[in-house]
Chains A and B, each alone.
Chain A
Amino acid sequence: MESFLSRYKNPLVLLAVLLVQVIGLAVQVRRPSPQAGNAPGVRLIQYWALAVVTPPERAVHFIGSEVSGLWNNYVDLVGTKRRNRELLMEVDRLRLEQAGLAEDARQVQRLQALLGFQQQYIYKTVAAQVIGASESDQSHLLVLNKGSAYGLKQDDAVITPQGIVGRLREVYPHTSLLLEISDETSGAGVLLQNARLQGVLRGNAYGQPEIVGMLPDARIQPGQVVVTSGGDQIFPRGLPVGTVERVAADPDHPPLVNVLIHPAVNLEAVEEVLVITSTGSQMPATENQDIAQSELDQEQQRAADILAEQLPSKIDPEAPPEELFTSTVKGFTVTSPLLPLNPPQPDHPDQFTPGATPPATDMTPGALNGPIREGTENMPAPKPAANNAGTATANAQGQTAATGPGGAAATAGKSGAVKSAGNAKTGGTKLGLRTARQAAVRRKHPAATPRGGQ
C-alpha cells in the first residue's frame, strides 16, 4: 500500500486536487431548468447525487413492482369479479350523486363568475411512483420516478385520491423531489371547512402538519375537516388536507395557537401519487361529460322508478331487456314483445278468446256475428201463450227468443241464440224483450193486437 502511494503519489495528488475542484464546482453550479421559470436551477451536486442514487432505487422498485404486479394481476384474483361488481355499482351510485351535486356546482360557478372569483380545476395529472425517501428525520422528502420529461415542473402540487401530499421541490429530467406537507419548510394555504377559518399549514419539528399562528377560536374543534384554500396558488381549492387533531398554544406567540392536523393521507406509506401539471378556471371537458352521463343515468333511473311505481307487478331489475318480435301483416310491420311459447289456456272459451271472432273480411255488414249477452240469461222463462202462434217464445233455459218482423219465427236452440235474417238495424235482443213483453200483455188483454203481428 505504501509503495503504491509513493509510486503513484503525483497522479493521486492530481486526482485529489481535481476531485476537490469538481465537487466545488458541483456545489456552486446550478443546472438551469427550462421548466423552472425564474426559479434557480438545481445544484449540480444534487443532480449528480440523485443520478448515482436513483438507478439502484429505480431497479429495486422495478423488480418489486413487477413481482407484485405478477402476483396481483395473474395469481391473486380471488374476489376480483365481486369487487368489480361492487365498484361498478359504486360508480353508478356516485354518478347519481354527482348529478345531484352538478346543479349546485353550476350555481356556485355562476355566483363565482358574478363575484369574479377564480376556481381552479384540475385539468391534467401525471401518476408517479415513490422510489425513495430522505434518510433524515428532519427532512420529509420523497423521490418520484418521473421528472421534467413527463411535464412535471417545480412547485407542482402532488396529491392522492385521499388528499394532498406536498409539492415538487426539485425536478430533474427523470426524477423529482417531493416535499411533503409535514416538512418544516413546506407551506400550504388551508381552510377549516366548517369554521371557514383560513391559515397556513406546515410541518412541525415532529413531522406533523399544523396550522400555525391562528387566533383562539371556539369553532376549532377536533375532527373538523381541513381543506386547501387555494390561496397559495399551488394547491387547487377544496382538496382534502386532514382533520383537526387538537389545538396547542403557540409557545413563541402566546395569544396564538397552533392547530395540529391529522393528515388525510398516510404520509409514511405513500406509494403512488398524482402530480397536478395543469389547472384552469373552466371545468374540464371530461368532467362535463361525466356529469352529463350522470344526469342521463339519473333521468333513466327516474323513468324506471316511475314505471316501477305504476306497474303493480314486480320487475326484476337484473332481468335481461325484453326482446321484440317483429312480424309483417299485409304490408305493415308490427313490432311487439316476443310472445311466450306456451301461453296459459283459458278455462272455457268466450268471445274474447283469440280466434273466436271471424276475420273482418269474412263479416257481412249488418250481420250478427256472435252471441250477445245482456245479463238476462238467468231470468225465468215466460210461459208460452196459445194464441201467439206467430211468436217465438223463450226457450226452456229462459233465454231470449226473437220474432221476425214478418211473423216468421225461428226458435233458438238450447243455447238460446237467435239468428235474425231481417231488420239488421234492430238488435235481436231488443226484439226478443219486446216480444216477451207483448206476450205478457196479451195474456192480460187478449184483444190487443200486437203491431205487425198479423
Chain B
Amino acid sequence: MALMASTRREVDIPSYPVWLMVLVPFAALALQSLISLHFPRFDYIDLPLLVTIYFGITWRHPVGGTIFGAGIGILQDAVTQHPLGVFGIGKSVVGYLAASMGIRVDTESFFTRLLLIPFFTLLQSAIVWVLEHRMIEQPYAWLWVHEGIRAAANAVLGLMLFALLDKARRRD
C-alpha cells in the first residue's frame, strides 16, 4: 500500500536546527497577523496550523506534537480575541494526530499531504466550533463553503510551505 510506512526514509527521525524550531512558529504567528492586517482574505490561511501539521508528521512524536500544538495554539489565542485555549486545544489534537499518522503513513508523499492538510484544517475548525458554540456559547457559524475554501487554500499553501521546510531539515 502506497500510504503505509515501508521505506527507510519514513522511519528516519529528521532533525532541525534549534533556531529553526524556535523561529518558524513565531514567524508563522507574526506573518499570519501581519498579512491578515493588510490582506483580509488571508484569514483563510492558518499558518500556525500548517506549521503544527508539518512538525507533527515529520517529527512523528505524539507527545512533542501535542505540546508543540498546544504552545503555538495558545500563542495564537493570545493574539486573537479568543480565550486562551481555544486554538490551543484544537492544535493539540491536530499535533497529536499528525504525529500519530506520521508513524503509520507515508507523510512524504505529495498526495498524502494533499489529503492530510484539508483534513486537519477541517478538524481544527470543528474543534473550535464545538468549543465556541457549546462551551463558551459565542456565536460561531459553520459555513461549509467557507470551510471548504479554507481547507483548499491551506492545502495549496501547505504543500509549498512543507516543501520549503523539507529543504531546511537535517538527516542523520
Name A's B-contacting residues (CB within 8 A).
Answer: 9-10, 13-14, 17-18, 21-22, 24-25, 28-29, 31-32, 44
Complex CA gap A18/B69 in Å reads 11
Cβ contact within 8 Å between B96 and A24? no
Complex CA gap A44/B84 in Å reads 13
Complex CA gap A10/B102 in Å reads 14
* Known contacts A21-B74, A21-B92, A31-B137; A14 and B62 CB within 8 A of each other: yes
Complex CA gap A71/B136 in Å reads 45
A residues less than 8 Å from B76 (CB atoms):
none
B57 at the interface (CB under 8 A from A): no
B85 at the interface (CB under 8 A from A): yes
Cβ contact within 8 Å between A14 and B93? yes
Complex CA gap A117/B146 in Å reads 59
Complex CA gap A14/B67 in Å reads 8
Q: How large is the interface on B (under 10, 10 to 19, 20 to 34, 35 or more residues)?
A: 20 to 34
Cβ contact within 8 Å between B66 and A24? no
B residues less than 8 Å from A25 (CB atoms):
83-86, 89, 131, 135-136
* 15 CB-based A-B contacts, threshold 8 Å: A10-B62, A10-B63, A13-B66, A14-B66, A14-B92, A17-B70, A21-B92, A22-B89, A24-B84, A25-B84, A28-B83, A29-B136, A31-B136, A32-B137, A44-B135
* Known contacts A14-B92, A14-B93; A24 and B85 CB within 8 A of each other: yes
Complex CA gap A22/B100 in Å reads 22
Cβ contact within 8 Å between B84 and A18? no
Complex CA gap A13/B67 in Å reads 9
Task: Please provide the 7 A-B residue pairs with the shortest distance between their CB atoms, ordered closest to farther.
Answer: A10-B62, A25-B85, A21-B85, A14-B96, A13-B63, A21-B88, A24-B85
Complex CA gap A31/B83 in Å reads 12
Tell me, rounded to whole Å, the shortest Cβ–Cβ distance linking A404 to chain B: 120
Complex CA gap A69/B135 in Å reads 39
Complex CA gap A216/B74 in Å reads 57
* Known contacts A31-B137, A44-B135; A17 and B92 CB within 8 A of each other: yes
Known: A17-B70, A18-B92. 7 other contacts (CB 8 A): A13-B67, A14-B96, A17-B66, A17-B92, A18-B93, A21-B92, A32-B137
CB-CB nearest in chain A for B96: A14
